[in-house]
Structure 1
Amino acid sequence: MFSKYKCISTGANLPDLPTILICPTNLHAQLTSEIEHYLRRGTFDLLPYTGKLQQCEQWWETIWTQSKMSPGRRIALAPQTALQSDSDTIWVASDNDTGAQPRFALLHNKWVKQTVYGQQWGLFVMDEAHVARKYNKIYVAVQALRQQANVTIALTATPVLTKPLDLWHDDEQRDQHLPMERSKVKKTG
Structure 2
Amino acid sequence: MILCVQQEKLGERLATLRPLMDKYQRGEPTFPSEALKWLDEAEKAMGTLRLPEGAEMSALRGRILRAADALPAEDGHPSRAAMRRAQQAAAAEALTRAEEVLRQRVTAAEERLKFFEEKLCEGLTAFVVQNGMPPRTTEHQASLLRIWELLRQFSATRPLAIYMSASLSQTDRCYLLDRVLSRIDEGAEVSPGAA
Structure with greater Cα Rg: 2
Q: Common fold, TM-score beyond 0.5? A: no
TM-score (norm 1): 0.25
